[in-house]
A and B are shown apart, each in its own frame.
Chain A
Amino acid sequence: MISAVEIQSRIRQIAIIGNPNSGKTTLFNALTGLRQKVGNYPGVTVEKKEGQLCFHDGTEAVLVDLPGTYSFTPSSPDEQIATDILLGGSRYSNMPDLLICTVDASNLERNLYLVSQIIDRQIPAIVALNMMDVAEESGIRIDPMVLEEELGVQVIPTIGTTGMGIKELKQAIADNRHIPWRIRSWQLPAIVEEELDELVNLLEQRVDFDRPSALLEAVQLLSTNNGHTLHHSPLPPDVLDHVRKDRERLDFMEIDRQSVFVESRYRWIKQVCRAASKTTVRSGIPLNDRIDRLMVHRIWGYVIFLGMMGIVFQSVFTWAALPMEWIGAGFDEVGTVITTLMPPGELRELIVNGGLAGVSAVVTFLPQILFLFFFLGLLEDTGYMSRAAFIMDRLMSKVGLHGKSFVPLLSSFACAIPGIMATRTIENPRDRLVTMLVAPLMSCSARLPVYTLLIAAFVPSTMVLGFLSLSGLVLLVLYLLGMAAALTMAWLFKNTLLKGPPSIFIMELPPYRRPSLRSICLQMWERSKIFLREAGTFILGVSIVLWFLASHPRVEGASPAEQLKHSFAGQAGRLIEPVIKPLGFDWKIGIGLIASVLQREVFVSTMGTVYNIQDSNDDGVSLSLKEHLQQDIDPESGEPSFTLLTALCLMVYYMLAMQCLSTVAIMHRETNGWKWPLIQIAYMTLLAYGATFLVYRAGLLLGIGA
């Protein structure tokens, strides 16, 4: 045990902390570059980012990017983790040896609030006075030397986007010059001061806190009505009794216990700011305000928003399709080469139809993820995302969601995987979870082949109102229904399973900034890596299992259709027939449903195999498959086994069911466990089954099935 601690103590642990939007991540990237590792804090959905910091003398340190927080009073799991680590005694990490505290120079007052708490905690720290350029532009001049003097903490001015000050910051970290700590600089009204001192002493003696922790705990205890410490551990009864009497006394004096501490801190911060910074008022309307007038305009705001979303959607839906085709074609080519090189047999089949198909299924998602994260990075980095959330919030709040949920939901129209990955812009954990849970209900591009096949085969090509084709209309209705289902389920989740205290919607609207291409590229690289490593391996495994199920046990000399019918998948198709019969599906569709649990579009090719269509190109398959489906006769009743109603039911089923194990894999990764993916599969399957059943019954009553 001791030796493990010793080993850890040899490598310096440095943590980077700061307010949201203070350029923390840009600074982290500038310090570590590509030497980063992204994981999860155990048991929570919060992401843990670690990087390596190399110094000139060859020594190294671990740099942890802590979640952004405004104070030590957390209001989300992200902030809770940051707070826990800084207060020590966290199960997630050791107390860092050194803190780098990013401070937005253009927003000094609010950023110094957290700094003042860090000073109280007495963790060795360096203040990175970031965004000096933004501050200068808005007429704020800060003297870092004076600020250092006032705070009693080393201050290094930086500009994260240009790299200014990074060298100096690194040097300061290496030097680790320690300025002796001051005793708490901020002053309280005399009565409160008295009570606080008394309580700090008591906590120090009775609960075994060091002095800085005792101070923070005492402030927390006096300003709230909680009966536990910041770590939620209970206090001894006599201490609790003392706290209760203190509270009563202060209440009797009509002192607002909550505000007195915050106000006293801010009073000191104002003094510091007055000494260290000068503000010159600029005349005229700043550029930022002029852009904002347009961006959140009641008409132009939405036009711009829709335009931007149009581009994002287009990129994921259409532009990404091209590289996806190349990837598909490339893997087909590799498959052909392997087929010619290797002798026929189990191993070749496994490699080509199991392994290679799996790898290809994984890699084809990459273009979508890259495109979406490029645009998301751009929207986030420029500061536009919070404006989009600002104008969309009213709409989303109707179903209990946050304005920021809109973009991930919209991207899910292309593919739920990048959509779910994009929910990380939502800070509130419950809102994020709800968004992830309903995202797969948005009709993604993988449903399109299924929709088009069934519409082409069974929906009559008539015109509605003279100019709208019925097939187009059906497609539109399917998309709208998917969206309606998503919003309804979101509302339902918010009011049942994920009901909780009202979420506080307070969001900063940061000034517009030039995006850092470096940060965006790093983010794209990081997301792709996570997807390939964590979802990819799962998808590959499932793909091999599915191949095995669809091709074993072997039937000698059988046609592909015969082989499939006698395989485990075929048997399973028959096995589940009683279950899917109420939906109007027969065992052939059952095979299709089972084979397409990994990817929905596999349904089309599986049906091709079931109906014994061989060796034709994609268009040929769907064309002749269309005819096969229309002509298929149920041997028992002698009636067509595939009707318009069957097609409608299948479309409704595919619209609502979780026929995408890749989504399950990414849910597992993003929620850090199996609980939520399983809940998602369960509710979506129930929803799909129920809705399809209703459609089938209603269809029979209306006589569509005949």
Chain B
Amino acid sequence: MRTETPFQSGASIDRDKRLHRVKNETTSHTPLLDTPVKRDQHSMFSVAVLNPGDRATVCRIQATFPALRQRLMELGLITGTSIEVIRFAPFGDPMEIKVNGYRLSLRRKDARAIIVHMESP
């Protein structure tokens, strides 16, 4: 058994939601936040809020329904897997990520299930 990361689910969901909102606002060019969100190594994000080129390590999969969770894990998205965000499709959805040397395309709403922490650049 692997010990859980210090952030327990409840707190991090809120954080994810907030970050997701922040991200949405910045991408839609509202002058709310000019400085990028501070990302220290231990904070957790959902893959959906990362930027192209970001590398991260999977903490856990937190899907709303078990089938999606099972599929994501079976594709290799398990605790400790390194991923890289390659790009977003032209209208911002779906997104392309690199996992274990191959490319996956997934919709942002599904990508929100993948909780990661940033790798230092």
Residues of A near any B CB (own CB < 8 A):
70-71, 73, 75, 106-107, 109-110, 113, 138, 140, 189, 223-225, 255-256, 258-260, 262-263, 266, 296-298, 301-302, 386, 389-391, 393-395, 397, 403, 501-502, 504-511
Taking a contact as CB atoms under 8 Å apart, the answer to whether B101 and A106 are in contact is yes
In the bound complex, residues from chain B placing their C-beta under 8 Å from that of A298 are 90
**Neighbour of B73 across the interface among A189, A262, A302, A505, CB < 8 A:** A262
Interface string of B69-99 (1 = CB under 8 A from A): 1111111101100000001011111101000
Taking a contact as CB atoms under 8 Å apart, the answer to whether A508 and B104 are in contact is yes
Instruction: Give the complex CA separation of A263 and B2 in angstroms.
Output: 11
Excluding A106-B102, A255-B1, 12 further A-B contacts by CB distance (< 8 Å) are: A110-B102, A256-B60, A258-B66, A258-B69, A259-B60, A259-B73, A263-B73, A389-B105, A393-B89, A393-B94, A394-B92, A507-B105
In the bound complex, residues from chain B placing their C-beta under 8 Å from that of A258 are 66, 69-70, 73
Instruction: Give the complex CA separation of A224 and B60 in angstroms.
Output: 17
26 A-B pairs within 8 Å (CB atoms) are namely A70-B75, A73-B70, A256-B60, A258-B66, A258-B73, A262-B73, A262-B74, A266-B76, A297-B90, A390-B89, A390-B94, A393-B94, A393-B105, A393-B107, A394-B89, A394-B94, A397-B107, A501-B65, A501-B67, A504-B68, A506-B71, A507-B104, A508-B102, A509-B96, A509-B105, A510-B103
In the bound complex, residues from chain A placing their C-beta under 8 Å from that of B69 are 258
Instruction: Give the complex CA separation of A263 and B74 in angstroms.
Output: 9
Interface string of B49-72 (1 = CB under 8 A from A): 000000000001100011111111
In the bound complex, residues from chain A placing their C-beta under 8 Å from that of B68 are 504
Instruction: Give the complex CA separation of A223 and B74 in angstroms.
Output: 13
B13 close to chain A: CB less than 8 A: no
Taking a contact as CB atoms under 8 Å apart, the answer to whether B71 and A109 are in contact is no
In the bound complex, residues from chain A placing their C-beta under 8 Å from that of B19 are none
Q: Which of B1, B71, B72 has the most CB of A within 10 A?
A: B1
Instruction: Give the complex CA separation of A326 and B7 in angstroms.
Output: 72
Instruction: Give the complex CA separation of A256 and B9 in angstroms.
Output: 13
Would you give the shortest CB distance from A198 to chain B, in whole angstroms?
19
Taking a contact as CB atoms under 8 Å apart, the answer to whether B96 and A73 are in contact is no
Instruction: Give the complex CA separation of A266 and B96 in angstroms.
Output: 22
Instruction: Give the complex CA separation of A403 and B94 in angstroms.
Output: 10
- Residue in chain B with minimal CB distance to A403: B94
In the bound complex, residues from chain A placing their C-beta under 8 Å from that of B110 are 504-506
**Neighbour of A506 across the interface among B60, B75, B89, B91, CB < 8 A:** B75
Taking a contact as CB atoms under 8 Å apart, the answer to whether A506 and B105 are in contact is yes
Instruction: Assess A296 versus B89: contact at CB under 8 Å? Given A107-B101, A504-B110, A505-B106.
Output: yes
B100 close to chain A: CB less than 8 A: yes
**Neighbour of B105 across the interface among A109, A224, A302, A386, CB < 8 A:** A386
- Residue in chain A with minimal CB distance to B90: A298
In the bound complex, residues from chain B placing their C-beta under 8 Å from that of A106 are 101-102
Taking a contact as CB atoms under 8 Å apart, the answer to whether A394 and B105 are in contact is no
Taking a contact as CB atoms under 8 Å apart, the answer to whether A296 and B87 are in contact is yes
Would you give the shortest CB distance from B6 to chain A, in whole angstroms?
15
Taking a contact as CB atoms under 8 Å apart, the answer to whether B1 and A189 are in contact is yes
Would you give the shortest CB distance from B30 to chain A, in whole angstroms?
21
Would you give the shortest CB distance from A228 to chain B, in whole angstroms?
15
Instruction: Assess A266 versus B78: contact at CB under 8 Å? Given A390-B89, A393-B93, A397-B107.
Output: yes
In the bound complex, residues from chain A placing their C-beta under 8 Å from that of B61 are 259
Instruction: Give the complex CA separation of A107 and B94 in angstroms.
Output: 22
Taking a contact as CB atoms under 8 Å apart, the answer to whether B90 and A259 are in contact is no
- Residue in chain A with minimal CB distance to B68: A504
Taking a contact as CB atoms under 8 Å apart, the answer to whether B105 and A110 are in contact is no
Would you give the shortest CB distance from A279 to chain B, in whole angstroms?
8
In the bound complex, residues from chain B placing their C-beta under 8 Å from that of A75 are 67, 71
Instruction: Give the complex CA separation of A223 and B67 in angstroms.
Output: 11
Instruction: Give the complex CA separation of A107 and B98 in angstroms.
Output: 12
Taking a contact as CB atoms under 8 Å apart, the answer to whether B67 and A504 are in contact is yes
- Residue in chain A with minimal CB distance to B95: A390
Would you give the shortest CB distance from B93 to chain A, in whole angstroms?
5
Instruction: Give the complex CA separation of A225 and B69 in angstroms.
Output: 14
* Majority SS at the chain B contact face: mixed
Instruction: Give the complex CA separation of A73 and B70 in angstroms.
Output: 8
**Neighbour of A107 across the interface among B66, B78, B102, CB < 8 A:** B102
**Neighbour of B91 across the interface among A394, A504, A509, CB < 8 A:** A394
Instruction: Assess A109 versus B100: contact at CB under 8 Å? Given A259-B61, A391-B90.
Output: yes
Instruction: Assess A109 versus B76: contact at CB under 8 Å? Given A390-B105, A394-B89.
Output: yes
Q: A-B pairs with the 10 shortest C-beta distances? A: A509-B103, A298-B90, A394-B91, A262-B73, A71-B74, A507-B105, A505-B107, A107-B102, A506-B106, A263-B78
Instruction: Give the complex CA separation of A50 and B93 in angstroms.
Output: 38
- Residue in chain A with minimal CB distance to B92: A394
Instruction: Give the complex CA separation of A260 and B1 in angstroms.
Output: 8
- Residue in chain A with minimal CB distance to B107: A505
Q: Which of B66, B68, B87, B90 has the most CB of A within 10 A?
A: B90
Instruction: Give the complex CA separation of A224 and B105 in angstroms.
Output: 26
In the bound complex, residues from chain B placing their C-beta under 8 Å from that of A255 are 1
Instruction: Give the complex CA separation of A504 and B109 in angstroms.
Output: 10
Instruction: Give the complex CA separation of A601 and B78 in angstroms.
Output: 57
Would you give the shortest CB distance from B79 to chain A, in whole angstroms?
6
Instruction: Give the complex CA separation of A262 and B61 in angstroms.
Output: 12
Instruction: Give the complex CA separation of A297 and B88 in angstroms.
Output: 10
Instruction: Give the complex CA separation of A224 and B93 in angstroms.
Output: 30
In the bound complex, residues from chain A placing their C-beta under 8 Å from that of B70 are 73, 223, 258, 262
Taking a contact as CB atoms under 8 Å apart, the answer to whether A73 and B89 are in contact is no
In the bound complex, residues from chain B placing their C-beta under 8 Å from that of A397 are 93, 107
Instruction: Give the complex CA separation of A690 and B67 in angstroms.
Output: 41
Taking a contact as CB atoms under 8 Å apart, the answer to whether A296 and B76 are in contact is no
Instruction: Give the complex CA separation of A501 and B60 in angstroms.
Output: 23
Taking a contact as CB atoms under 8 Å apart, the answer to whether B76 and A506 are in contact is no
**Neighbour of B74 across the interface among A113, A256, A301, A394, CB < 8 A:** A113
Q: Which of A266, A302, A397 has the most CB of B within 10 A?
A: A266
Q: Which of A75, A298, A394 has the most CB of B within 10 A?
A: A394
Taking a contact as CB atoms under 8 Å apart, the answer to whether B71 and A70 are in contact is yes
In the bound complex, residues from chain B placing their C-beta under 8 Å from that of A259 are 60-61, 73, 78-79
Taking a contact as CB atoms under 8 Å apart, the answer to whether B90 and A296 are in contact is yes
Would you give the shortest CB distance from A565 to chain B, in whole angstroms?
57
Taking a contact as CB atoms under 8 Å apart, the answer to whether B74 and A505 are in contact is no
Would you give the shortest CB distance from A523 to chain B, in whole angstroms?
24
Instruction: Give the complex CA separation of A256 and B4 in angstroms.
Output: 11
- Residue in chain A with minimal CB distance to B73: A262
In the bound complex, residues from chain A placing their C-beta under 8 Å from that of B93 are 393-394, 397
Instruction: Give the complex CA separation of A505 and B87 in angstroms.
Output: 16
Would you give the shortest CB distance from B57 to chain A, in whole angstroms?
14
- Residue in chain B with minimal CB distance to A255: B1
Would you give the shortest CB distance from B81 to chain A, in whole angstroms?
8
Taking a contact as CB atoms under 8 Å apart, the answer to whether A390 and B66 are in contact is no
**Neighbour of A302 across the interface among B74, B78, B90, CB < 8 A:** B90
Instruction: Give the complex CA separation of A107 and B87 in angstroms.
Output: 20
Taking a contact as CB atoms under 8 Å apart, the answer to whether A73 and B74 are in contact is yes
Q: Which of A110, A225, A386, A389 has the most CB of B within 10 A?
A: A110
- Residue in chain A with minimal CB distance to B101: A107
Instruction: Give the complex CA separation of A397 and B110 in angstroms.
Output: 13
Would you give the shortest CB distance from B110 to chain A, in whole angstroms?
6
Instruction: Give the complex CA separation of A109 and B73 in angstroms.
Output: 13
Instruction: Give the complex CA separation of A138 and B100 in angstroms.
Output: 13
- Residue in chain A with minimal CB distance to B80: A263
Would you give the shortest CB distance from A22 to chain B, in whole angstroms?
11
Would you give the shortest CB distance from B47 to chain A, in whole angstroms?
12
